[in-house]
C-alpha cells in the first residue's frame, strides 16, 4: 500500500505539473509571452510541488522502515510507534489528493483573461513608469491580440482595466511620460488597428471610450499635456475612421462626442485654456473631414446636457467655431 501510494503521488504530480506547463505555454501563445511571469510568481505550483515532494520522501522513508521490520507494532522510534508513522503517510496521501481540487480551481481562474490582466495591472506603478520601463505593454499586447481575434470581451476588459489603473497613478510628475505611452503609443496604435486593419466600429469605439475617460480625468486634474495628447489621438483615430466612410460612421460620431466632452470639462478648469484650444482645434479638424457627422454628434451631445453644464459647453463651442473658421480660411487660401 505504501509503495503504491508513493508511486501514485509521483505520477499525479508529474501529470499535474506537465498540464500546468502546457496551460502556461498556450496562454502565453494566446496573449503574450510576458504572462509567463504571472505563473512563475504564483505560489500555488511551488507549494504543491513542495507538499508532494515532502509526502513522497516521507513515504519512502517509512517504507524503508517497514521493509526492515518484522513486527511493526513493537517498533518504537522517538517514543512513536511505526504504525503512527504509517498512519501519517496515509494522512499525507489523502491530503495531497484533496489539495488538487483547490489547486486546479485556482489555476483555472488564473487562466481567465480578466484575472491575467488584473495581475499585470498591479505591476503598473509610478516607479515603474519613471524607471523607463513600460509596464503597460503586457496588457496592450493582450488588447492587440484580442482585436485581431475580434475578442470583444477581452478587449473591453483590457482597455477598461488599463485606463482605470493609469488614471489612478497619473500626476504632474509622470504626466508627460505616461500620456505619451498610454495615448500616443498604445491607444493610438490600437485605434488605428481597429479602424484601419479590422474596419470595425465597435472595437474602435472601445478605444475612443478609453481615451474619453482618460481625457476627462486629466482635464479634471488640470493636466494640460495629457489632455492635449488625448485630443490629438482622438482626432487621428476619428480621422482614420472617417476615411472608411459609412463603415465607421458610429466611430466618427463617438470621437466627436468624446472631444466635446473633454473640451467642455477643460473649459471649466482654470489654467487649461491651452488644452481647451487644442481640443477645439482637433474637433475642428475632424469636422473638415466629416462635417455632417460631427455636427450631429454636437447636437446630440447638447440635447442630453443638464442646465448646469450649458455654460461650459457654450464656452467650448464658441472656441471650436473660431478654430473651424480659421481652418476653413486656411484651406480656402491654400486652394
Between CA 137 and CA 168 the distance in angstroms is 17
Q: What is the pLDDT of residue 135?
A: 86
pLDDT tens for each residue of 62-88: 888 777 655 444 444 555 677 787 888
Shared domain for 106 and 123, answered yes or no, is no
pLDDT tens for each residue of 231-253: 999 999 999 988 887 778 899 99
Shared domain for 33 and 138, answered yes or no, is no
Q: What is the pLDDT of residue 215?
A: 93
pLDDT higher than 70, residue 138: yes
Shared domain for 157 and 286, answered yes or no, is yes
Between CA 174 and CA 178 the distance in angstroms is 6
Top pLDDT among 185 and 31 is at: 185
Shared domain for 164 and 272, answered yes or no, is yes
Q: What is the pLDDT of residue 70?
A: 52
pLDDT higher than 70, residue 145: yes
Shared domain for 8 and 151, answered yes or no, is no
User: What is the distance of C-alpha 242 from the center of its chain?
Assistant: 27
Between CA 300 and CA 50 the distance in angstroms is 62
Shared domain for 44 and 98, answered yes or no, is yes
pLDDT tens for each residue of 194-212: 888 777 889 999 999 999 9
Q: What is the pLDDT of residue 177?
A: 87
Q: What is the pLDDT of residue 259?
A: 94
Q: What is the pLDDT of residue 44?
A: 86
Q: Which domain range does residue 90 map to? A: 2-110
pLDDT tens for each residue of 22-48: 888 888 777 777 778 888 888 888 898
Which pTM value belongs to this model? 0.80
Shared domain for 241 and 118, answered yes or no, is yes
Shared domain for 167 and 253, answered yes or no, is yes
Residue that is last in its domain, among 52, 78, 110: 110
Per the rule left: phi > 0, alpha: psi between -120 and 50, beta: everything else, 175 is alpha
Q: What is the pLDDT of residue 68?
A: 64
Shared domain for 308 and 200, answered yes or no, is yes
Domain count, the chain: 2
Percent of the chain at pLDDT above 90?
A: 33
Residue that is last in its domain, among 95, 110, 125: 110
* ∠ Cα 99 102 108 (to 5°): 135
Mean pLDDT of 49-65: 87
Shared domain for 54 and 160, answered yes or no, is no
Q: What is the pLDDT of residue 160?
A: 94
Shared domain for 319 and 180, answered yes or no, is yes
Between CA 119 and CA 249 the distance in angstroms is 36
Shared domain for 46 and 120, answered yes or no, is no
Residue that is last in its domain, among 87, 110, 133: 110
Q: What is the pLDDT of residue 120?
A: 87
Amino acid at each position: 500500500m505504501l509503495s503504491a501510494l508513493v508511486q501514485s503521488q509521483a505520477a499525479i504530480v508529474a501529470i499535474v505539473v506537465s498540464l500546468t506547463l502546457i496551460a502556461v505555454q498556450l496562454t502565453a501563445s494566446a496573449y503574450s509571452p510576458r504572462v509567463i511571469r504571472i505563473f512563475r510568481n504564483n505560489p500555488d505550483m511551488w507549494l504543491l510541488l513542495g507538499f508532494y515532494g515532502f509526502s513522497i520522501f516521507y513515504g519512502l522513508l517509512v517504507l524503508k522502515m517497514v521493509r526492515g521490520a518484522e513486527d511493526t507494532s513493537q517498533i518504537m522510534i522517538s517514543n512513536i510507534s511505526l504504525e503512527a508513522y504509517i498512519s501519517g503517510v496515509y494522512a499525507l496521501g489523502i491530503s495531497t489528493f484533496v489539495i488538487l481540487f483547490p489547486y486546479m480551481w485556482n489555476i483555472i481562474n488564473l487562466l481567465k483573461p480578466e484575472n491575467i490582466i488584473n495581475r499585470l495591472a498591479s505591476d503598473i506603478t509610478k516607479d515603474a513608469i519613471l524607471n523607463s520601463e513600460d509596464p503597460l505593454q503586457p496588457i496592450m499586447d493582450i488588447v492587440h491580440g484580442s482585436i485581431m481575434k475580434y475578442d470583444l470581451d477581452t478587449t473591453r476588459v483590457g482597455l477598461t482595466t488599463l485606463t482605470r489603473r493609469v488614471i489612478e497613478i497619473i500626476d504632474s510628475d509622470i504626466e508627460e511620460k505616461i500620456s505619451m505611452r498610454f495615448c500616443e503609443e498604445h491607444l493610438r496604435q490600437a485605434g488605428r488597428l481597429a479602424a484601419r486593419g479590422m474596419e470595425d466600429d465597435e472595437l474602435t469605439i472601445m478605444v475612443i471610450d478609453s481615451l474619453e475617460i482618460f481625457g476627462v480625468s486629466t482635464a479634471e486634474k488640470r493636466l494640460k499635456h495629457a489632455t492635449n495628447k488625448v485630443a490629438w489621438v482622438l482626432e487621428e483615430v476619428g480621422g482614420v475612421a472617417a476615411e472608411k466612410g459609412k463603415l465607421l460612421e458610429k466611430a466618427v460620431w463617438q470621437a466627436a462626442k468624446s472631444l466635446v466632452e473633454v473640451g467642455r470639462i477643460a473649459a471649466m478648469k482654470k489654467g487649461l485654456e491651452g488644452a481647451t484650444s487644442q481640443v477645439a482645434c482637433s474637433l475642428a479638424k475632424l469636422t473638415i473631414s466629416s462635417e455632417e457627422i460631427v455636427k450631429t454628434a454636437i447636437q446630440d451631445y447638447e440635447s442630453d446636457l443638464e442646465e448646469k453644464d450649458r455654460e461650459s459647453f457654450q464656452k467650448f463651442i464658441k472656441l471650436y467655431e473660431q478654430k473651424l473658421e480659421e481652418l476653413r480660411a486656411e484651406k480656402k487660401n491654400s486652394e
